[in-house]
Amino acid sequence: MTQEEFASHLGVAVRTVAAWSASPYMVPQNETQRILDTAYERADEPVRRLFIHLSRPGVGPPQAQALRVAIAVVMRDAEVLLVCRQDGDDLAWQFPAGIVKPGGSAQKVAVRETLNETGVHCSIRRHLGERLHPVTRAFCDYFLADYVHGEAVNGDTSENADVAWAPVRDLARYIPADRIFPPILEALEAAA
């Protein structure tokens, strides 16, 4: 069947079938999975055999990717921009950050998430390095960024409790120094 015919057969939108075709390893929502299961159960044996044959790509199963996070260390004179994340009852200060989708640009995510979370426009000065975070086990890309303009406001109240410009000399009051990626400390000391 064409995508249009298959969508009509299942009673779903053509864009849904197109999305499956573009991302064959995506997991459908429960309701959609029930529709697919019913269609498979009602199919005759030759169609089932063809489905089994076509659903075994020669490249093997999809490979998992580590969670990748882009982190912006935004400087304004001798201050650095921080967000206070809320996780249930726990609060923790950190640098603005966002998840990088597979194939995405970590640098663009760092700039975009800083703006979305804080209302601050920034520009990347340089890449500070990368590491597997010792606590979260996420792959982290760190960027030193310069403040361009904007007022620091809490633009993401679902994730953050507060936003602040912290004096670099007082950063340890917000984030313990032993939890900060050493290249960040070196860049902040050089810039302050």
| Residue predicted with more confidence, 189 or 73 | 73
Q: Which strand (E) or helix (H) includes residue 123?
A: strand 121-132
Tell me the torsion sign for CA atoms 47, 48, 49, 50.
Answer: positive
Confidence of residue 81 (pLDDT cuts 50, 70, 90): very high
What is the predicted pLDDT for the residue at 79?
A: 96
Distance in angstroms (rounded) separating the CA atoms of residues 29 and 147: 41
Confidence of residue 18 (pLDDT cuts 50, 70, 90): confident
pTM: 0.66
Out of 10-14, 29-33, 107-111, 170-174, least confident range: 29-33
Segment 87-103 mean pLDDT: 89
Phi, psi of 139 (to 5 degrees): -80, 120
Residues 110-146: tens digit of each pLDDT? 999 999 999 999 999 999 999 988 888 889 999 999 9
